Every structure is written in C-alpha cells, then in structure tokens.
C-alpha cells in the first residue's frame, strides 16, 4: 500500500518486472503523466489505481511495461 503524498514529479516509474518505464513529469487527481524515452519523448497517462507501491523513492506498477504499452494512453507533450 502507498500514500499518494509519497508520489511526486521526477520519480522513476518501474513495471512489476523491474524495468524502468519512465519518470513522472506531472500529476493529476487520478493519474500520473509518465515521460518515456530519452531522445524521442512520449508521455503516457498511468492511473493511480495501477500503482502497487512506492519503494526506495520509485513508483512500482501492478503490471509490466509490455502491458502498459499494449494499449497506452498517450497524452500530448507537456512543456516544462
């Protein structure tokens, strides 16, 4: 279990398989906006319901990256 206050911008997001998916660049009431990619950035919305836990300053999801990107919810780039 996790507390929403533990999650903040800049944190790494990992799938349940241990692979890094990206980092949080924005948060809404119900979702995390995760930036994926180093040179070609893509931003994806991840529901807070998909968060399993926060461990060692990283967000761990209930599923792996393959599951997340099988039907991703890509969002327009957020300019920082």
pLDDT > 70 fraction of the chain, expressed in percent and rounded: 78
Average pLDDT over residues 25-52: 86
Residue 22 falls inside a structural domain: yes
Q: Between residues 57 and 63, which one has the greater pLDDT?
A: 57
Decide if pLDDT at 57 tops 80.
yes
Can you give the pLDDT at residue 37?
A: 72
When divided into structural domains, the chain yields a total of 1
- What the block records as the tokens of 40 is 């070609």
Residue 80 falls inside a structural domain: no
Residue 29 falls inside a structural domain: yes
Confidence grade of residue 1 (pLDDT, cut at 50, 70, 90): confident
CATH of the domain at 68: 2.30.30.240
Give the 3-state DSSP-derived string for the chain, with helices as H, strands as E and coil as C: CCCHHHCCCCCEEECCCCCEEEEEEEECCCEEEEEECCCCCEEEEEEHHHEEEEECCEEEECCCHHHHHHCCCEECCCCC
Residue 15 falls inside a structural domain: yes
Residue 66 falls inside a structural domain: yes
Residue 19 falls inside a structural domain: yes
Least confidently predicted of 3-7, 39-43, 48-52, 75-79:
75-79
Residue 3 falls inside a structural domain: no
């Amino acid at each position: 279990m996790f507390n929403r206050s533990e999650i903040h911008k800049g944190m790494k997001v990992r799938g349940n398989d241990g692979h890094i998916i990206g980092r949080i660049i924005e948060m809404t009431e119900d979702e995390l906006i995760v930036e994926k990619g180093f040179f070609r950035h893509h931003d994806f919305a991840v529901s807070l319901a998909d968060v399993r836990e926060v461990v060692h300053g990283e967000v761990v999801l209930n599923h792996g990256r393959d599951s997340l990107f099988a039907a991703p919810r890509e969002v327009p780039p957020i300019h920082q």
